[in-house]
């Protein structure tokens, strides 16, 4: 039909329609390529504010949580009129209150370890499950999932602060956030999205650098602002503001387009354009090829109508089974298994060794950073620094 794009040619791999004569008025392959061109369009650029608001909420959480945990532990030891030891004004370690100070530091560190483990252990399994599924169900579902679970964690933290609930509620929020993949899955989708919409090379490198730069600016700004928020209005409002940032991130995801098929569609469109260009050296040759294809298609249709529903042995063909959700999940786990089999393959031994060494180096570099931030904050609150919340926030500037 005139003026209608043949979407089957874009959505189904292997679909190869017969050439269309330009004089027919139908949309050509070149115009179809425009629908799947790579590049950061206005809608695709909406991923950047999503990243901004998500990590703004996460940055506020990082700097609020350790200080709140220590304040809860300190209030527990100060209840009943007991006066805790001020490590910043006393140096007498024989003072009985000094032992109370040490207990506060130890218990605060222990709770931060509990919170970190309750998040990191589920995160390991969450990433193995959810990230491969983005190749099947698209990127956006994992954006929704990580944002919603992080929002639940922050709302639970705000309620815990307001109603002075037990710190155990924070463990539940961390576990839920970890099961969603947490910010590790968000980072995976973020960089995968940039690879979907950009060409390999300079443009992709610039997009990734811009995302990394955005993260650096966000965490630096939130470290400074959070300190002043805690000092001026307490712990509750930083948690509320962080929750509001995640609500905005969730709403913006609706505007972000899905990009799971972009790279595949571009390759298929370019391949079809190349085939059509080779078959269109002249209008006469184009018309002849079109007529030949029409005749061959008629012969194939006639043959197919006779053999339809039967195998080569004459028995009825089984009807194709629909692709179920379980089959798609199995396919995702199969892809994950193939990725792990790379480490034990006998092919490309030198390249595999280089890859393993790079992954090992990245792993050992990342492990110290997983819980370093919270422990540093607890250390800076006590001796020898005795910093306030504002000084802790400004130490990164």
Q: Determine the Cα–Cα distance for residues 279 and 273; give it in Å rounded to an integer.
A: 10
| Cis peptide bond prior to 384, omega within 30° of 0 | yes
Q: When comparing pLDDT for 348 and 252, which is higher?
A: 252
For residues 43 and 257, the answer to whether their CB atoms sit within 8 Å is yes
Closest CA to 248 of 55, 44, 40: 55
For residues 378 and 387, the answer to whether their CB atoms sit within 8 Å is no
For residue 310, the SS3 value is strand
Q: Determine the Cα–Cα distance for residues 151 and 58; give it in Å rounded to an integer.
A: 10
For the ranges 13-17, 253-257, 384-388, the lowest mean pLDDT is seen at: 13-17
For residue 34, the SS3 value is helix
Q: When comparing pLDDT for 309 and 97, which is higher?
A: 97
322: pLDDT confidence band, cut at 50, 70 and 90? low
Whether pLDDT at 295 is above 60: no
267: pLDDT confidence band, cut at 50, 70 and 90? low
Whether pLDDT at 151 is above 80: yes
Confidence (pLDDT) at 129: 85
- Helices 47-78, 140-163: axis angle to 10 degrees equals 30
Whether pLDDT at 23 is above 50: no
C-beta atoms surrounding 209 within 10 Å: 10
The per-residue pLDDT of the chain, averaged, comes to 77
Whether pLDDT at 279 is above 70: no
Percent of the chain with pLDDT over 90: 37
β-bridge mates for residue 316, sequence order: 310
Confidence (pLDDT) at 255: 94
Confidence (pLDDT) at 31: 30
For residues 391 and 227, the answer to whether their CB atoms sit within 8 Å is yes
Confidence (pLDDT) at 362: 81
Model pLDDT for residues 207-220, shown as the tens digit of each residue: 899 999 999 999 99
Please compute the mean of the pLDDT values over residues 48-73 and round it to a whole number. Answer: 95
Closest CA to 229 of 217, 219, 241: 241
C-beta atoms surrounding 29 within 10 Å: 20
Confidence (pLDDT) at 78: 78
- Helices 236-253, 202-233: axis angle to 10 degrees equals 150
Confidence (pLDDT) at 106: 92
Confidence (pLDDT) at 356: 81
Confidence (pLDDT) at 261: 75
The DSSP result for 160-174, as a single string, is HHHHT--THHHHHHH
Closest CA to 166 of 234, 73, 100, 98: 73
pTM, two decimal places = 0.75
């Amino acid at each position: 039909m005139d003026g209608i794009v043949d979407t089957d040619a874009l959505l189904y791999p292997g679909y190869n329609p017969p050439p269309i004569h330009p004089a027919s008025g139908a949309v050509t392959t070149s115009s179809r390529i425009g629908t799947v061109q790579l590049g950061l369009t206005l809608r695709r650029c909406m991923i950047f504010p999503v990243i901004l608001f998500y990590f703004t909420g996460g940055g506020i959480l990082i700097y609020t949580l350790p200080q709140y945990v220590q304040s809860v532990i300190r209030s527990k030891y100060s209840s009943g009129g007991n006066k805790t030891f001020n490590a910043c004004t006393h140096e007498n370690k024989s003072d009985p209150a000094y032992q109370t100070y040490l207990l506060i530091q130890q218990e605060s560190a222990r709770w931060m370890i509990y919170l970190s483990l309750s998040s990191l252990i589920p995160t390991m399994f969450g990433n193995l499950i959810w990230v491969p599924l983005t190749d099947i169900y698209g990127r956006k579902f994992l954006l929704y999932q990580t944002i919603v679970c992080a929002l639940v964690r922050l709302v639970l933290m705000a309620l815990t602060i307001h109603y002075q609930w037990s710190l155990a509620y924070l463990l539940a929020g961390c576990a839920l956030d970890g099961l969603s993949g947490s910010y590790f899955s968000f980072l995976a989708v973020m960089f995968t999205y940039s690879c979907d919409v950009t060409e390999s090379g300079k443009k992709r490198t610039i997009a990734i650098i811009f995302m990394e730069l955005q993260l650096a600016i966000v965490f630096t700004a939130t470290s400074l602002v959070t300190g002043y928020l805690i000092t001026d209005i307490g712990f509750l409002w930083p948690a509320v503001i962080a929750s509001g940032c995640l609500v905005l991130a969730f709403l913006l995801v609706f505007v972000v387009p899905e990009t799971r098929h972009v790279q595949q569609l571009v390759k298929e469109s370019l391949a079809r354009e190349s085939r059509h260009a080779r078959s269109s050296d002249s209008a006469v040759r184009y018309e002849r090829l079109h007529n030949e294809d029409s005749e061959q298609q008629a012969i194939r249709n006639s043959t197919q109508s006779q053999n339809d529903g039967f195998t080569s042995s004459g028995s009825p063909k089984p009807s194709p089974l629909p692709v179920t959700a379980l089959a798609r999940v199995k396919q995702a786990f199969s892809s994950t298994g193939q990725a792990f089999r790379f480490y034990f393959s006998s092919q490309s031994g030198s390249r595999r060794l280089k890859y393993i060494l790079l992954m090992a180096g990245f792993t050992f570099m990342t492990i110290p950073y997983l819980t370093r931030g919270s422990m540093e904050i607890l250390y800076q609150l006590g001796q020898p620094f005795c910093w306030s919340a504002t000084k802790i926030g400004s130490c990164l500037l």
